[in-house]
Amino acid sequence: MGILYNESSTFMKNGVIFRMKNNKQLKKQMENKALLILKMALASALSWEIAKLAGSHHPYLAPISVILCLQTTIKRSIRFSYHRMVGTIIGISMVMLFAPHLKVNGWTIGALILIACFVAKWLKTDETAIHQVALTVLLVFVLGHKSGNYPIDRFRDTLIGAIVAVILHMLIYPPNFTGQVSKSIDHFADQLTTIFSKVSEWTKSGLKKNIGYTLQTETNRVLQELHETKNLMKDAADSLSYNPFAKRSKKDLKSFQQRLHYLTQSYSYLSNIVGILTAWSEAGTITPVQQALWSDQIKALIPLFQTKENPIVFRLSGDALQVVIPANLEEQQFHISLFYETRSLLKKLGQLPSNKG
């Protein structure tokens, strides 16, 4: 699937971050591909024999449907099968309606494809279905003139192939990516823990500018990992749809979704405080006492990412919020927060000098 879900080596070239998959990732991907190939071979053989028993003169059409409809997850397989059947029905209908009055040549094929695809568009079908309409029109129009059985074989064998592909996908080692999600979230939490620790030490040691820029780069890299984890979460949710053996995994995935939600909030906090501390350091108004105070506060948050418990249930030892501010500033907190975020945005958009306050 091309999605990273655990540790990998990284390197940067020309400002672009590249990731190299480790042995565990490659092994898991190879296992998934091998399983998909085995299913494809078995389903192709079964669909061919079923199509022959059903009286097909073109049994190869069933394995073609198997090969096309067998997608990464059951949900995607069902979706593709549906669009393929819709496209097949529309294509056959258009050919049966117009073919008796047309001869086979490039212009008539183009005209039929044009009409049939616009009918599919008018019916608001998916782009996949439109492709299937065009393919069906081409094959049924050309081969239908040579074999009167082709249109009915096309419909029946396509249906047989799609059904066989989906059923085998559901019953034989159905896809389940919750394990990868768990590893991906653990890896992301480890990265947050590492960066929070570095930010705490950086704050305590004097907020050196070069270290701050390095931390901002690392924080941006973690954002890419977060996006990849969210994409994998979507794949995992798809993999559990129509999976008859996924009751436990669905429960686990719900827990993973909650944990990722809180980790996402924590990442947003991390990104904001790195920017604020950098700006505060550049302004030269932060004191050693304030540095030590915020270093301890950031460090106190780290156990939230080390635990696999839901943060709503997990409780930090000691005071979670260690920083206090005067009452008059408490009243202005939202005004100050909005001011900082607005000023930061305007700087990023080039509307304010970058060295202004």
Has residue 276 got a pLDDT over 80? Answer: yes
* SS3 of residue 9 by DSSP: strand
Q: Are 164 and 184 within one domain? A: no
Has residue 3 got a pLDDT over 70? Answer: no
Q: Is 227 exposed, middle or buried (0-12, 13-18, 19+ CB in 10 A)?
A: exposed
- Give residue 332's domain range: 325-357
Give the pLDDT confidence score for residue 137 in this predicted structure.
93
Give the pLDDT confidence score for residue 13 in this predicted structure.
43
Give the pLDDT confidence score for residue 43 in this predicted structure.
96
Has residue 9 got a pLDDT over 60? Answer: no
Rounded average pLDDT over 168-196: 91
Mean pLDDT, rounded, of the chain: 86
Confidence class for position 88, pLDDT limits 50, 70, 90: very high
Instruction: Point out the domain boundary residue: 136, 171, 206.
Output: 171
Has residue 314 got a pLDDT over 50? Answer: yes
Output the CA–CA distances (angstroms, integers) from residue 31 to 26, 60, 127, 175, 293, in the order listed. Answer: 9, 28, 31, 11, 50
Rounded average pLDDT over 88-116: 90
Give the pLDDT confidence score for residue 100 in this predicted structure.
78
Q: Are 152 and 261 within one domain? A: no
Number of domains composing the chain: 3
> Does a structural domain hold residue 280?
yes
Q: Are 308 and 356 within one domain? A: no
> Does a structural domain hold residue 357?
yes
Instruction: Point out the domain boundary residue: 148, 171, 194.
Output: 171
> Does a structural domain hold residue 159?
yes
- How far, in Å, CA of 46 to CA of 67, rounded? 12
Q: Are 283 and 249 within one domain? A: yes
- Provide the pairing of β-strand 8-13 with 16-21: antiparallel
- Contact predicate 226/264, CB 8 Å: yes
Has residue 346 got a pLDDT over 50? Answer: yes
CB within 8 A of 58, min separation 6: which ones?
51, 147, 149, 150, 153, 154, 157
Of 148 and 292, more confident: 292
Please give the share of the chain, as a percent, with pLDDT higher than 90: 51
Give the pLDDT confidence score for residue 117 in this predicted structure.
96
Rounded average pLDDT over 327-332: 80
Give the pLDDT confidence score for residue 22 in this predicted structure.
55
Confidence class for position 91, pLDDT limits 50, 70, 90: very high
- How far, in Å, CA of 134 to CA of 87, rounded? 8
> Does a structural domain hold residue 15?
no
Give the pLDDT confidence score for residue 4 in this predicted structure.
37
Q: Range with the lowest mean pLDDT among 28-42, 83-97, 303-317?
A: 303-317
> Does a structural domain hold residue 7?
no
Rounded average pLDDT over 191-202: 93
Q: Range with the lowest mean pLDDT among 56-60, 64-68, 83-87, 346-350?
A: 346-350
Please give the share of the chain, as a percent, with pLDDT higher than 70: 89
Rounded average pLDDT over 287-299: 90
- How far, in Å, CA of 226 to CA of 218, rounded? 12
Q: Range with the lowest mean pLDDT among 13-27, 74-88, 239-253, 277-291?
A: 13-27
Give the pLDDT confidence score for residue 25 in this predicted structure.
65
- How far, in Å, CA of 143 to CA of 154, rounded? 10
Confidence class for position 2, pLDDT limits 50, 70, 90: very low
Of 43 and 29, more confident: 43
Instruction: Point out the domain boundary residue: 171, 203, 235.
Output: 171
From 266, 235, 227, select the one nearest 253 (Cα to Cα). Answer: 235
pLDDT, one tens digit per residue, over 115-153 is 999 999 999 999 999 999 999 999 998 887 677 788 999
> Does a structural domain hold residue 17?
no
Has residue 312 got a pLDDT over 70? Answer: no
Confidence class for position 29, pLDDT limits 50, 70, 90: confident
Has residue 279 got a pLDDT over 90? Answer: no
Q: Are 155 and 29 within one domain? A: yes
pTM: 0.76
* SS3 of residue 92 by DSSP: helix
Q: Are 82 and 150 within one domain? A: yes
